[in-house]
């Protein structure tokens, strides 16, 4: 599940970057990420956010809370990756 979680983070980061570069920062639904983008730039903000999320996911995995990692992976796929795919490719 950790690999699925980390791959979902990569796809979310890449699709978010593509979406923001195509439609502007107004398309980003997370106000914290949007604010980071305004202050640090799109790429740096996304890399930082995904690095933190990945690190926390790895921490959960190392603590043995694999169920939480699985739930978070499913959440990211359904709430972030799938909507970005719909917006960007359909």
- Contact between 54 and 80 (Cβ < 8 Å): no
Mean pLDDT of the chain: 97
- Distance (Å, rounded) from C-alpha 62 to C-alpha 76? 20
Its pTM stands at: 0.93
Count the Cβ atoms, other than its own, within 10 Å of residue 72.
Answer: 20
- The span from the CA of 83 to the CA of 54, in Å, is 20
**pLDDT tens by residue, 12-38:** 999 999 999 999 999 999 999 999 999
For 37-55, the pLDDT digits (tens) are 999 999 999 999 999 999 9
């Amino acid at each position: 599940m950790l690999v699925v979680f980390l791959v979902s983070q990569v796809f979310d980061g890449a699709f978010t970057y593509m979406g923001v570069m195509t439609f502007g920062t107004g398309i980003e639904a997370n106000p914290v990420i949007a604010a980071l983008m305004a202050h640090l730039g799109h790429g740096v903000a996304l890399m930082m956010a995904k690095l933190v999320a990945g690190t926390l996911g790895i921490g959960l995995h190392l603590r043995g809370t694999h169920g939480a990692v699985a739930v978070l992976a499913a959440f990211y796929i359904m709430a972030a990756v799938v909507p970005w795919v719909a917006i960007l490719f359909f």
